[in-house]
Amino acid sequence: MTIDLDNINVILATDCGSTTTKAILIEKVDGEYRQTYRGEAPTTVEKPFANVTIGVTNAVTEIGELAGRVFTNEDGTIKKPVVGEDGCDLYISTSSAGGGLQMMVAGVIAEMTAASAKRAALGAGAIVMDVISTNDKRRPHEQIQRIRELRPDMILISGGTDGGTTEKVVQLAELIAPAKPQPRFGSEYKMPIIYAGNKDAADEVAASLQEDWIDLAIVENLRPKLEQENLGPARDKIHEVFLEHVMAHAPGYDMLMDWTDAPIMPTPGAVGDILQTIAKKDGINVVGVDIGGATTDVFSVFNETFNRTVSANLGMSYSISNVCAEATMPNVLRWVHFDMDERELRNHVKNKMIRPTTIPQSLESLIFEQAVAREALRLAYKQHKEFATTLKGVQQQRTVGDTFNQEVAGNTIVDNMKLNLLVASGGVLSHAPSMHQTAMMLVDAFEPEGCTNLAKDSIFMMPHLGVLSVVHPKAAAQVFERDCLVYLGTCIAAKGLGKEGRPCFSWSISGDINASGTCNFGDLERIEMSPGQTATIMCEPARGFDLGAGNGKKVTHEIRGGTVGLIIDGRGRPLKLPENRQKCQQTISRWVENMELYPEETNVAVAT
Partner 1 sequence: MAHAYTPGLKVTSRMSNRVIRMLPIKGDVMVQIGDTVTADQIVAATYMPGDVYPLNMANTLAVPPKDVASLMLLHEGDSVEEGKPLAQSAGLFGKFKKIYNSPYSGTVETISEVTGQVILRGPDIPVEVRGYMSGTVVEVTPEIGCVIESDVAFVQGIFGIGGETCGTIAFAVDTCDCTLTASEINSDMNGCIVIGGARITHDAIEAARDAGAVAIIGGGMDDQDLKEFLGYDLGVAITGSENKGITVIVTEGFGDIAMASRTFDLLKKHEGHEASVNGATQIRAGVMRPEIIIPLDAGTAEAEPDHTGGYLEIGKALRVIRDPYFGMLGTVKSLPSEPQVLGSGSKARVLEVELHSGESVIVPRANVELIEA
Which residues of this chain interact with partner 1, rule CB under 8 A?
A: 18, 45-46, 97-99, 140-141, 144-145, 166-168, 170-171, 174-175, 178-180, 182, 187, 204, 208, 294, 313, 318-319, 321-322, 324-326, 343-344, 346-363, 365-366, 431, 433-434, 598-599, 603
Nearer to partner 1, 237 or 436 (CB): 436
User: How far apart are CB 146 and partner 1 at their closest, in Å?
Assistant: 11
CA separation for the pair 377, 311 (Å, rounded): 10
Closer residue to partner 1 (CB): 206 or 284 = 206
Query: Of 14 and 166, which CB lies nearer to partner 1 in the complex structure?
Result: 166
Pairing outcome for strands 296-302 and 534-541: unpaired
SS3 486: strand
Angle at 289 between CA 286 and CA 295, to 5 degrees: 150
Q: How far is the CB of 61 from partner 1 (least distance, A)?
A: 13
Can you tell me the distance from the alpha carbon of 477 to that of 378, in angstroms, rounded to the nearest whole number?
Answer: 29
In sequence order, which residues have a C-beta less than 8 Å from that of residue 431 and are 6 or more positions away? Answer: none
Give whichever of 145 and 582 is closer to partner 1, judged by the CB atom.
145
Q: Report DSSP letters for 471-505, one per residue.
A: H-HHHHHHHIIIIIEEEEEEEEE-BB---TTSEEE
Are the C-beta atoms of residues 288 and 465 closer than 8 Å to each other? no
Nearer to partner 1, 119 or 348 (CB): 348
Helix, strand counts (H, E) of the chain: 18, 22
CB of 11 to partner 1, least distance (A): 26
What SS3 state is found at 579? coil
* Minimal distance, residue 343 CB to partner 1, in Å: 6
Taking the least distance from each CB to partner 1, the nearer of 169 and 493 is: 169
* Beta carbons within 8 Å of 162's beta carbon, 6+ residues apart: 198, 199, 200, 221, 224, 225
Euclidean distance between CA atoms 428 and 76, whole angstroms: 33
- Report helix, strand or coil for 252: coil
Could you tell me if residue 299 is left (phi over 0), alpha (psi between -120 and 50 degrees) or otherwise beta? beta
Least Å from the CB of residue 543 to partner 1: 41
Question: Residue 290 CB, nearest distance to partner 1 (Å)?
Answer: 17
* 24 close to 33: Cβ distance less than 8 angstroms: no
The CB-of-92 to partner 1 minimum distance in angstroms stands at 23
Whole-number Cα distances in Å, 191 to 265, 422, 510: 20, 38, 61
Instruction: Tell me phi and psi for residue 544, to 5 degrees.
Output: 95, -5
Output the smallest distance, CB 99 to partner 1, in A.
Answer: 5
Q: DSSP states of 95-143 as a string?
A: E-GGG-EEEEEEESSTTTHHHHHHHHHHHTTEEEEEEEETTSS--HHHH
- For partner 1, the closer CB: 189 or 552: 189
CA distance 595 to 439: 10
Nearer to partner 1, 299 or 598 (CB): 598
Please give the Cα distance from 12 to 25 (Å, whole number): 5
Nearer to partner 1, 170 or 279 (CB): 170
φ/ψ of 21, rounded to 5, equals -100, 120
Min dist CB 295 to partner 1, Å, is: 10
Nearer to partner 1, 185 or 318 (CB): 318
> CA 369, CA 18: separation in Å to the nearest integer?
22
User: Based on CB atoms, which residue is closest to partner 1, 362 or 530?
Assistant: 362
Q: Closest separation between CB of residue 585 and partner 1, Å?
A: 20
Q: Using alpha carbons, select from 131, 119, 124 the residue that is nearest to residue 94.
A: 124
Nearest to 179 by CA among 82, 106, 272, 241: 106
Strand extents, DSSP E, 374-449: 421-425
DSSP state of 374: H
**Beta carbons of 320 and 352 less than 8 angstroms apart:** yes
Closest CB 347 distance from partner 1, rounded Å:
4
Of the pair 358, 508, the CB lying nearest partner 1 is at: 358
Task: Name which of 551 and 602 has its Cβ closer to partner 1.
Answer: 602
In the bound complex, what is the minimum distance in angstroms from residue 70's beta carbon to partner 1?
Answer: 20
| Burial letters 121-132, b for 16+ CB under 10 A, else e | bbbbbbbbbbbb
Q: How far is the CB of 335 from partner 1 (least distance, A)?
A: 16
